[in-house]
Amino acid sequence: MKSRLGLFILIGLFLYLVDYRFSYDKDLNQIIIPDDEVLGLIETWRDQVGRDPSDEEIVRIVNNLINEEILYREALKLDLDKDDRIIKRRLAQKVEFLKQDVQQPSSQELENFYNENQSKYIVEDLYSFSHHFFSKENDSETKAKLGLIDILSGDAIKSDPFILGNELNLISKNDIQKNFGISFYESLTTIDENQWSGPIASDYGLHIVFIKKKSSEYLPRLNQIYQKVYSDYIIMRRRENVINFLDEIKQEYEVIINPDLTFD
């Protein structure tokens, strides 16, 4: 495979470089295609297509690479990379990526990180409950009170549809407050489990509620959330590495901003 690949690389380079006019800087006109780049492109092609490329397809892959490199060099000669915010952003992102290299953390480092950031990993109060909703626009107070009497008597109940449905399982304090309102959550904390209660008010109307289970907030042990803590640690260290790199090199730059610039 390698010998055949080498043959087609030489063919492609010969066909394109012989025809190419060397009228600019020599370094920009010298195109050396690394073996690993070609092999990487072929491996990517193989993964996408599911088979080895034919000889003709290998030539096309290599020639496309050479075309792209020539167009890139021409863009540099025309200074098309200058004053282009998108290109600057992409290059800045590449440098940032290079500076994000992080060594494998030790067990002690992860444990220290976990201890220092325990508030991030607290699992909030969780509630599992059924409810029936009565919209503000439909005489909700009367209907909710009658609905509670009916359901306690074992009779069918007619309520309004609610966007999240009538059954909610393991919904957190934050999600309850976001979807029902703070006052609704505060009312839930005062209701006993395994009985219909209400009506209690939400931001949208009234509800009668049956709490199936309450779980108080708790802090999982490190070994229970190891992967989450590990991922957070790596993200933190990558961010710190970039900040430290910038702090080290900023003194090498002089930044000039127009002091008279105004924003209308």
The domain tally of the chain equals: 2
Are 130 and 51 in a shared domain? no
The mean pLDDT value for 237-257 works out to: 84
Q: What are phi and psi of 124, to 5 degrees?
A: -70, 170
For 209, other C-beta atoms within 10 Å of its C-beta total: 23
* Domain C-terminal end among 28, 63, 81: 81
Are 131 and 209 in a shared domain? yes
* Domain C-terminal end among 21, 53, 81: 81
**Residue 160 placed within a domain:** yes
The mean pLDDT value for 137-160 works out to: 89
Give this prediction's pTM: 0.57
What is the model's pLDDT at position 130?
96
Q: Are strands 167-172 and 196-201 parallel, antiparallel or unpaired?
A: unpaired
Band (pLDDT 50/70/90 cuts) for residue 72 is confident
What is the model's pLDDT at position 159?
92
Q: What is the CATH number of the domain that holds 210?
A: 3.10.50.40
Nearest to 202 by CA among 189, 216, 221, 183: 183
Are 143 and 203 in a shared domain? yes
Q: In whole angstroms, give the CA distance from residue 65 to residue 124.
A: 53
For 89, other C-beta atoms within 10 Å of its C-beta total: 10
Instruction: Provide the domain limits for residue 47.
Output: 2-81
Band (pLDDT 50/70/90 cuts) for residue 25 is very low
The mean pLDDT value for 46-50 works out to: 91
**Residue 15 placed within a domain:** yes
* Domain C-terminal end among 28, 56, 81: 81
Q: Would you give the distance in Å from CA 210 to the centre of its chain? A: 36
**Residue 254 placed within a domain:** no
What is the model's pLDDT at position 32?
79
DSSP assignment of the chain equals -HHHHHHHHHHHHHHHHHHS---S-HHHH-----HHHHHHHHHHHHHHHSSPPPHHHHHHHHHHHHHHHHHHHHHHHTTTTTT-HHHHHHHHHHHHHHTT--PPPPHHHHHHHHHHTGGGGPBPPEEEEEEEEEEGGG-HHHHHHHHHHHHHTT-----B--TT-SEEEEEEHHHHHHHH-HHHHHHHTTSPBSSEEEEEE-SSEEEEEEEEEEE--B---GGGSHHHHHHHHHHHHHHHHHHHHHHHHGGG------TT----
Q: What is the overall mean pLDDT for the chain?
A: 85
The mean pLDDT value for 77-101 works out to: 83
What is the model's pLDDT at position 22?
37
**Residue 19 placed within a domain:** yes
Peptide bond into 105 cis (omega under 30): no
79: left (phi > 0), else alpha (psi -120 to 50), else beta? left
**Residue 97 placed within a domain:** no
Are 8 and 65 in a shared domain? yes
- Does residue 184 carry a pLDDT above 80? yes
- Does residue 131 carry a pLDDT above 50? yes
**Residue 247 placed within a domain:** no
For 195, other C-beta atoms within 10 Å of its C-beta total: 10
What is the model's pLDDT at position 210?
96
The answer to whether the CB of 128 falls within 8 A of the CB of 168 is yes
- Does residue 221 carry a pLDDT above 80? yes
| Sheet strands side by side (includes 126-135) | 167-172, 126-135, 205-215, 196-201
**Residue 164 placed within a domain:** yes
Are 67 and 131 in a shared domain? no
Could you tell me the two tokens for 7?
């043959």
Band (pLDDT 50/70/90 cuts) for residue 30 is confident
**Residue 186 placed within a domain:** yes
The mean pLDDT value for 136-156 works out to: 88
Q: In whole angstroms, give the CA distance from residue 98 to residue 117.
A: 27
Q: 194: which strand partners?
A: none
Are 209 and 137 in a shared domain? yes
